[in-house]
Homo-oligomer: A and B are copies of this chain.
Amino acid sequence: MAVIYDRVALIGLGLIASSMAHAMKKWGLAGSIAGYAKTEATREAALELGFCDEVFATAGDAVKNADLVILAVPVGVMGAVAAEIRPHLKPGATVTDVGSVKQAVVEAVGPHVPDGVDFVPGHPLAGTEHSGPRSGFATLFQNRFTLLTPGDARPEAVARLRALWEGMGALVEEMEADHHDLVLAVTSHTPHLIAYTMVGVADHLRRVTESEVIKYSAAGFRDFTRIAASDPTMWRDVFLTNKEATLDILGRFTEELFALQRAIRMGDGDELFNYFTRTRAIRRGIIEAGQDTAAPDFGRTKADGP
């Protein structure tokens, strides 16, 4: 595939950034990749693993001469990083991000983007419960959606970023930032909060020893613990910055849960059976949409690393 950006700067070198770097290298999408991370250990890992060509101790140095700057830091620090890199951005460059929340990023980063630079917020719907520079792999975005919320960025800048994501195997869609935040509150943010809560309940329960909970973690709970093992900083920022939509969906969730709890208490088997039958149909929709498979390995075939 052809080079899409001569020089790419990654600000933050965790799971998403390192996976993007591996993917850009694998498919020849970037001429060179510069990286910035807060700790020297992370910067050294990037060089050791070879997914960055150069690393820098400041974000400002990393973005110099970059045609694309990718902000891959927790949502809560995006604004400060944007302010820091502002004087060093190359005219005509594009700035994007990979944050799980978009409206808050638009508000935090937007004011720091100078004239002549395009800001195209983005969010790859991909991840694992692992974090850090050693957790990335090139195929993380394959056949997964990346959502762009371009606002008033120039169409040619959006098209070029889209080509990069498609080059990494992603399916790209565009939408408004606030709509993105509501959709994700349903499909990702609230489910994560619930999983964290359930794991917390198990942790506090004294009559069932922790070792039993762990030992007999049948399918339900085991899947929750995987979700609830995601990066704490990232998720703290998600809930603080997508507060309204998350609280809205949580309210609806509590209403539904109370209705089912009542059905259990009243012994209303028909209500439970009908509810569970409806939810099963949604699963079939997801399989038909190609975002998962019906196979016993749940479609999670091993990627090419790590």
Contacts and interface: CB of A to CB of B under 8 A. Distances in A.
A2 interface: no
A239 B197 CA distance: 20
Nearest to A292: B222
Interface stretch (A30-38, A50-58, A160-168, A293-301): A293-301
Interface stretch (A4-12, A65-73, A112-120, A241-249): A241-249
Contact of A226 (B201, B221, B233, B292): B292
Interface residues of A, number: 106
A27 interface: no
Q: Mostly helix, strand, loop or mixed at chain A's interface?
A: helix
**Count of identical protomers in the assembly:** 2
Q: Which of A219, A220, A246 has the most CB of B within 10 A?
A: A220
Interface of A: 76, 125-130, 137, 145, 147, 182-184, 186-205, 207-208, 210-230, 232-233, 235-237, 239-240, 243, 246-247, 249-250, 252-254, 256-257, 260-261, 264-265, 267, 269, 272-273, 275-280, 282-286, 289, 291-292, 294-298, 300-303, 305-306
